[in-house]
Amino acid sequence: MCKYGDKCYRKNKQHLSQFKHQKRKGDEGSEEKPAKKAKKQKSEVGDAESSSNEEKVEEKSEDVVEEPEELEEPDKSEETEDVDESDSPPTPSDVREEIKVKFKVGMPEDFYEFWEFCQSLDKKNPTAALHALGLELVGPFDILAGKFKNHKGKKPCYVLHWRYFYDPPEFMTVVKGDDKSQYHLGYYRDDPKEMPAFVAANSAAENCNIKAMGENLFAAVKIHLDKVLKETKNQTKKGEIKKLDDNLTKWAKKSKFSLEPKTKSMKNRDKKVVTKTFHGAGIVVPVVNDVGYRPLPETDASLKKILKKIVDSTTDDERTKNFDDLQEIITLVQFANDECDYGEGYELGIDLFCNGSAYFHSAIDNLLPLAYTLLGRDEYAEIITKHLKQRKKTNLSQLV
């Protein structure tokens, strides 16, 4: 008998041929028999939720993650699925609205103020104004620069424009650094309908870590500038950087943007973080009367070991067997979703994404879009779906 009982949703032929199953939910004439309950029992939470939420959970709870039917080594090349760009809408006349429509999120005031600052440094080519720091403005800045107006290539997928390998939907790249480490800066926001919580940095060629760099672009670039200045030995270049530092500091002070690496609003956001996740920036979900989030049944260390065993498996049979522990966690996520603790599936999906292996893309594609939808973050559900189809390590610009 399959150890998951009537809660097993696997459909691959190998599993079905090896194990017997009780009649499962949806089988004709079957009666629902509760499988082993999740470790954290909760009372009937659904009564406290609106009927629309209940319907949404019921509808989405059938979208269960299956083990991949084919467990061959994923293709390591840069060939990816085409992304349907029927979402390339007509261009609004207002540039702020254009960016919001194309990138799915609105931009904060410091974004537009920083563009004016860079124009003051290099009127002809503002995106290259920070060349002394090894930085270039990208992403939605390319809209302000008019780079898409004369684009002759295929229709761009704006939400993937400079979206690095480890950038979750919450992270939006706006400044790129060197190509070797793939260092880049971007806005990090918990909800697409809100303004960013802070500006973050990641070096995608090295790891998935997301580091907070102040609450606005001026602060983030100032932190990077100080580091570059300290490492620079050439006196001529050092003088150029000091001049840039002086201009940036004056502009930020005039516009009343904090240059502090950690502000009060960032500290307040830290209090709302329910778990750090593998990337370290943490996730925020609404929790009311202890409903909204429950921790995964594994520590970060033990979950990483489970995922490593799957990735390092040498045969399909071994990998299928090693998926069992992950499938058990996914089963508990289904219970959590039924009881409105949407944060657990959100956490697991982000952790699988941070692992980086294509073996988990199918699971992520089931976990994260569902979690985002249940949390009312539909824009992120769309972004992660597109990213998984074109998750690349190079050629990140949509202007090619």
pLDDT digits (tens, 9 = 90+) for 325-351: 999 999 999 999 999 999 999 999 999
Boundary residue ending a domain (232, 263, 294): 263
pLDDT of residue 94 exceeding 50, the answer is: yes
Provide the pairing of β-strand 183-188 with 136-137.
Answer: unpaired
The domain tally of the chain equals 2
Give dist(CA 333, CA 78) in Å, integer.
32
Tell me the average pLDDT of the chain.
86
pLDDT of 89 > 60? The answer is: no
- How far apart (Å, rounded) are the C-alpha atoms in residues 349 and 80? 21
Indicate the DSSP class of residue 256.
Answer: T
Same domain assignment for residues 350 and 218: no
Whether 59 and 179 map to the same domain: the answer is no
Which residues is 172 bridged to in the sheet? 187
Q: Can you state the percent helix, strand and coil of the chain, rounding each to 5? A: 45, 5, 50
Note whether 62 and 99 are same-domain residues: no
- Give the residue from 263, 283, 310 where a domain finishes: 263
CA–CA separation, 268 vs 65, rounded Å? 35
Q: What percent of the chain has pLDDT over 90?
A: 74
159: amino acid identity, one letter: V
165 and 285 share a domain?
Answer: no
87 part of a folded domain: no
Q: For 155-182, what is the mean pLDDT?
A: 97
Q: Burial of 13 by CB count in 10 Å (0-12 exposed, 13-18 middle, 19+ buried)?
A: exposed
Q: Look up the domain containing 328 and give its range.
A: 44-79+271-389
Do residues 140 and 106 make contact, with C-beta atoms less than 8 angstroms apart?
no
Indicate the pTM of the whole model: 0.79
- Does 23 fall in a domain? no
Question: Looking at this protein, which amino acid is placed at residue 223?
Answer: I
Residue 154 lies in a domain: yes
**Closest to 87 (Cα-Cα) out of 156, 164, 170:** 156
Asked if 240 and 247 count as a contact pair (C-beta separation under 8 A), the reply is no
Q: 196 and 312, same structural domain?
A: no
Residue ending a domain, among 238, 263, 288, is 263
Within a domain: 100: yes
Q: Which residue has the higher pLDDT, 152 or 86?
A: 152
3-17, 98-112, 151-165: the lowest-pLDDT one: 3-17
Q: Are residues 250 and 186 in the same domain?
A: yes
Q: In what order do the strands lie in the sheet with 136-137?
A: 136-137, 171-176, 183-188, 198-203, 211-212
∠ CA 224-228-230, rounded to 5°: 120
Residue 170 contacts residue 153 (beta carbons within 8 Å): no
Kindly state whether residue 110 falls inside one of the protein's structural domains.
Answer: yes
Distance between CA atoms of residues 345 and 339, nearest Å: 12
Q: Note if 85 is an active site residue.
A: no
- Is 16 within a domain? no
pLDDT score, position 4: 60
**pLDDT class of 159 with cuts at 50, 70, 90:** very high
- Beta strand 211-212 with 183-188 is unpaired
Q: What is the pLDDT of residue 6?
A: 63
- Which tens digit of pLDDT belongs to each residue from 99-145? 999 999 999 999 999 999 999 999 999 999 999 999 999 999 999 99
Average pLDDT over residues 353-377: 97
- The answer to whether residues 238 and 112 belong to one domain is yes
Q: Tell me what the mean pLDDT of segment 199-223 comes to.
A: 98
**Residues 218-229 pLDDT 10s:** 999 999 999 999
Pick the catalytic residue from 339, 344, 347, 382: 339
Are 125 and 236 contained in the same domain? yes
236 shares a domain with 367:
no
pLDDT band at 150 (very low <50, low <70, confident <90, very high): confident
Same domain for 160 and 306: no
Same domain for 276 and 251: no
DSSP annotation string for 245-257: HHHHHHHHHHHT-
In a domain, 84, yes or no: no
- Nearest 5°: phi and psi at 381? -60, -40
- In the chain, % of residues over pLDDT 70: 78
- Is 85 within a domain? no
Same domain, 115 and 237: yes
C-alpha to C-alpha distance for 387 and 334, rounded to whole angstroms: 24
Q: Count other C-beta atoms under 10 Å from residue 80's C-beta.
A: 14
